[in-house]
Amino acid sequence: MGITVFYLFSIFTSFVMGSSMESVKDNVLKSTIFYYDVEEVEFPYARKQTLQFIAKTHLKYAVFNFDKNKMFSYTFVFDKKLISQYSIFIEVKKKFGEATLVTPLNYLWDLGEYIIVLNKNILRMTLKSYIVNYNK
Residue 64 · residue 24 · CB < 8 Å:
yes
- 123 occurs within a structural domain: no
- 135 occurs within a structural domain: no
Which tens digits make up the pLDDT trace of 72-96? 999 999 999 989 999 999 999 999 9
- 58 occurs within a structural domain: yes
- 29 occurs within a structural domain: yes
- 48 occurs within a structural domain: yes
The pLDDT of residue 1:
39
Count of domains for the chain: 1
Sheet architecture: strand order including 106-110:
34-42, 49-55, 59-67, 70-78, 122-127, 114-119, 106-110, 101-103
Indicate the pTM of the whole model: 0.83
The residue range of the domain holding 70 is 5-97
Cα 34 to Cα 38, 46, 100, 111, 128, distances in angstroms:
10, 26, 31, 27, 27
Residues in the chain with pLDDT < 70?
Answer: 1-3, 34-47, 132-136
Q: What is the DSSP letter of 100?
A: S
Handedness of CA 126, 127, 129, 133 (dihedral sign): positive
- 85 occurs within a structural domain: yes
The pLDDT of residue 134:
55
- 51 occurs within a structural domain: yes
The pLDDT of residue 37:
57
Report the C-alpha gap between 85 and 87 in whole angstroms.
Answer: 6
- 117 occurs within a structural domain: no
Question: For the chain, what's the residue count?
Answer: 136
